[in-house]
A and B are shown apart, each in its own frame.
Chain A
Amino acid sequence: MHLLHGVVLDVKTIKMMTLYSNSSILFRHTIVSAGILVGIACGIGGCKSTYVPPVQSTAKRDSLLARSFSSNGQLQLQEDSDVTNVNPHVRFGSQDNILVADFAEFQLRVYDAVGHLLHHYGSKGREAGQFSVPLTSVLQLSSGTMVVTDFGGTIFQLDSGLSAVMRKTETDLLPLYSATIMNDSTLLLIGRPRSVRSGEPAPLLHLFDLKSNRITRSFFTAPVQPFLAPAAVSLGITSAAIHADTIATVFALTDTIFLFNTSGAAIGRVPIPFRLFSYIKHPAPSGETVADRERWLREISLITDIFWLRDGSFIIQFYRDDEPRKENGLLIMDRLGRVRMEALDTPRLIAMDEERTQSRFFFASSGREGMRVWNMATYPAMDSSH
């Protein structure tokens, strides 16, 4: 059984997406773009709310994590004069290699299973061997070919040694949040078609045929309440995981797992019974001060990732941006919606490797080295059945 994990985004990516997801003036004239979007945003009224954030003690969180995961050591990624891990989007390739597309560094990397740097390719720029748009995912086909996506909707294909770009394809997606391999001839792309006018419902999942080099089907228009429609555009983070012949997807603002078959037909929904998730209750305040709007923003949680485990259960990662504190949360539930664990203030779950006999998880360590030094864990915890 082949399992693929979801997409990992972090606060910086979310902010970037928020700014650009609805802009036709991409990657230039930042202030102008922001101003246009603010203008759209300011057209919506709102009201004040009294907010009491969910609370969970550190001890309880640690206890919950320890009951779910078994610590399995640390992985330190090698860095050199060209390489710094800042915002890695991680997948796994052949021979347990770790594939990194670094959104902040415009760079691809291949590490071996113990963190030795094998190859790296790219930097920010417009010359040969450089990328001008941040990278959002890297995948490896069974042929060894590396498939890379960028935020602007371009798909690159490189050789396994990352020596050169062999093929480059532009898509209609902007942003292109991420991609996942369905099979060797089909990718699942996650993104918003730029041809859909702002404010109109847009399909977020797309099947991309690698042979014909085009999108063959688009589906999954995120259902949100009308008052959330504008937010659904700029915060339209979507994550997907594939388990055998089923796609599970989550949308930032909707507490539901949506299930599709590999043709894109809807086959079910599973509610996510959050207790610690902060829902949007009101539109953003309009005509208020910046501080009011910041306060509103800090009140809400966003779903950022879904991971689908071998035993059929799901891990949902969610996030709240309470500056300067960035708070991730994790919820583990089974296919029937029964919660096994929910915790706040958890370390960021960077990636999941399902290719081994036991699921391995990679969490960012604390501190500024967190994206270079990962804490490894297995699930379920060794003693969880006792």
Chain B
Amino acid sequence: MEYGHLSRYGLFALIISATLWTGCKSVESAARPKYAGDTLHLQASGIRTRKLGLLWILRAEDCLTCFTPSVLLRQAQRRLGPSVGITLAVVKGDSQEVAAYADRERLNTDIVVVRAASNLGEIAKEAPILVALQDSVIAGSWNEGELATLSTDSIMAAVRRLQANSH
């Protein structure tokens, strides 16, 4: 079973990564935000978030690694309280499995299953946690997908910016 969980998720991750790498060429760079504070409209991807909240685009490998940003989301959840919701978006996933995963991770989330990857995959590769306002997102971190750099403080700062802009 080397190839049990391993291959199941590993292969899945491999397929996704290959898709992402090849997909990079087809996604226009202007179609996605590049810097913290840039926005991206989500309607085309079929995602609706709460008015203000965090959007986590769940990647295959997030379900099984210790690098999952769920630890950061839990920090944010504890510090921000229920007024800032968390939406968990999964591309072509099983909502029951994702719900069970969110329960195990002790995350209070809305779960959205997105039929088409659109350019979400490209975003997820770089910054799987985004601060969302209605149908737009603001980048949380765009540092080569280095999750460790996406601190709760940076999320809080982005939330505060959004709150200021929304008033």
Contacts and interface: CB of A to CB of B under 8 A. Distances in A.
A38 B66 contact: no
A297 B67 CA distance: 23
Contacts of B99: 324
A231 B1 contact: yes
B105 A18 contact: no
Contact of B64 (A12, A106, A235): A12
B117 interface: no
A30 B13 contact: yes
Interface stretch (A55-63, A78-86, A156-164, A257-265): A78-86
Interface string A295-328: 0110010000000000000000000010110100
B115 interface: no
B64 A15 contact: yes
Contacts of A368: 103-104, 106
A280 interface: yes
B104 A235 contact: no
A316 to B, nearest CB: 19
A234 B97 contact: no
What secondary structure prevails in chain B residues at the interface with A? helix
Nearest to B125: A31
B7 A38 contact: yes
Contact of A234 (B1, B13, B72): B1
Interface stretch (A166-174, A204-212, A286-294): A286-294
A297 B5 contact: yes
B71 to A, nearest CB: 5
Contact of A84 (B3, B14, B15, B78): B78
Nearest to A324: B100
19 contacts: A12-B104, A18-B5, A19-B64, A32-B17, A34-B10, A34-B11, A34-B61, A38-B6, A41-B6, A41-B10, A84-B106, A104-B71, A106-B71, A123-B75, A124-B72, A235-B2, A293-B7, A293-B8, A367-B103
Interface of B: 1-17, 61, 63-67, 70-72, 74-75, 78-79, 94, 96-97, 99-100, 103-106, 148
